[in-house]
Amino acid sequence: MGKVAVGATVVCAAAVCAASVYIVRRRMQSSGKWARVIEILRVLEEDCATPIGKLRQVADAMTVEMHAGLASEGGSKLKMLISYVDNLPSGEEHGFFYALDLGGTNFRVMRVLLGGKQGRVVKQEAKEVSIPPHLMTSGSDELFNFIAEALANFVATEGEDFHLPEGRQRELGFTFSFPVKQTSLSSGTLIKWTKGFSIEDTVGQDVVGALVKAMERVGLDMNVTALVNDTVGTLAGGRYYNPDVVAAVILGTGTNAAYVERAHAIPKWHGLLPKSGEMVINMEWGNFRSSHLPLTEYDHLLDFDSLNPGEQILEKIISGMTPNMSAMHSDTSPDLKVVGSKLKDILEVPTTSLKMRKVVVSLCDIIACRGARLSAAGIYGILKKLGRDAPKDGETQKSVIAMDGGLFEHYTQFSECMESSLKELLGDEASDSVEVIHSNDGSGVGAALLAASHSQYLDDSQTS
């Protein structure tokens, strides 16, 4: 496992463990007696319990909220955002396409060469660029000029493999991981900045328009074909390799889901029905909440202390994002000793103590299992909404769920618990037709694939 993978594992494990340690410390401060720790664990396990009946209630509540969110804007805790992606990659795409992934203090530029069914992703090249801190709080033009210049410099390094046919523009998939109100496949207005950015003159403006103007200023001729988020990109990447992919779920330091909906089943969609008859919906399921969620007193305390009390409840349960963890995320390294040091500081007792280590492991197991089982309930809710939770007229439909994120990819106990819980919900017969797969790098390759599947040259005989 490489440094990046190990780092992701540590961050996700730390996310769960930090919440666990917070629980122990709160109770120990009030009791001051180790003898009560076992009782604390027993009560916590009971409060976090997710029996199959409760999971079915959560899934049913998810399905109800999905219907409400599709019916009208603001009708549900689930935003159920229309992505305007109505043509997912098929594997037939040819040519080369660019991706720009902007979601934090670094951004990536990437180009991907596609070779159709036989070649698939023939070659890909990428470069990561750090954003100078002053540009995160300066003006919109300054930030996007910097990004456009980096993109232009990257384009200038194209090798012979990346040949652009005469008379064609380069095409780009733009992953923009900030709150946006999308108005078309290739436009969206910024709602607010997060992650340390604060550029007032960008808020309320079309971020694609800002990028296009910046590219024009540096003399770069490139068409922004698609504005996407990483979950939709994960779905695109999964569908590119497997036509049975119907949904995607991110399980990492945050969580979200996207799925393919029948266009006629979206009452709030007022445009012409797409030729494909389908539309990808970005659920923003991290904001889901229900009286059926097994919330403990500690969940309420963590929520109260968070930056967004009352919001992103499911995300806080699954991913464990808390203010204490924010500090942990900012400087967590692939060295497990860092986590041990932080746990020592939080607990004010040696984490090498065998007794303490057993407590923390037990807490992590309880909380991770709860998050994994609730993730399975969410997936089951999506399958129910699509009518894919049971055989239809005696026939089974193959349904594949594309997954990404550190919790799923690197936290083995979490992923195994999630998959076994999903099988438990589906039953033996239906679970045979549902498969969970890993779909990597939706924010990069996925964005390039969406640029390809929505290319302005699709009417031509090929997209090369």
**Considering Cα of 234, then 236, then 241, then 244, what sign does the dihedral take?**
positive
Alpha-carbon span 15 to 416, nearest angstrom: 18
Q: Does residue 443 have an active-site annotation?
A: no
Q: How far apart are CA 259 and CA 429, in angstroms?
A: 23
> Residues of 76-100 as b/e, b for ≥16 C-beta within 10 angstroms?
bbbbbbbbbbbbbbebebbbbbbbb
Place of tokens 């919330």: 295
Q: Find out whether 442 and 396 touch, Cβ atoms under 8 Å.
A: no
Of 300, 179, 228, 234, nearest to 439 by C-alpha is 234
Is 230 marked active-site? yes
List the catalytic residue out of 27, 108, 239, 289. Answer: 108
Euclidean distance between CA atoms 45 and 432, whole angstroms:
31
Distance CA 459, CA 412 (A): 44
CA 139 to chain centre: 28
Q: Are 292 and 58 in contact (CB under 8 A)?
A: yes
Distance of alpha carbon 128 from alpha carbon 185, whole angstroms: 25
What amino acid is encoded at 328 in this protein? M
Max CA separation in the chain (angstroms):
76
- CA separation (Å) from 114 to 118, 122, 411? 10, 6, 32
Measured distance CA(237)–CA(325) in Å, rounded: 30
| Closest to 237 measured CA to CA, from 252, 262, 258 | 258
Q: Which helix (H) or strand (E) holds 123?
A: strand 121-130
Q: Is residue 431 within 8 Å of 398, Cβ to Cβ?
A: no
Dist. CA 219–CA 238, nearest whole Å: 34
Of 140, 177, 439, 443, which is the active-site residue?
Answer: 177
- Active site (annotated) includes residue 201: no
CA distances to 20, 52, 156 from 8, in Å: 19, 30, 32
Extract the tokens encoding 333: 């390294």
Q: Give the CB-side neighbour count of residue 394, counting CA atoms within 13 A.
A: 0
Map tokens 């340690």 to a residue: 21
Closest Cα to residue 83, out of 272, 269, 279? 279
Active-site choice (230, 389, 404, 441):
230
DSSP 291: T
CB 264 within 8 A of CB 279: no
The set of catalytic residues is: 108, 177, 230
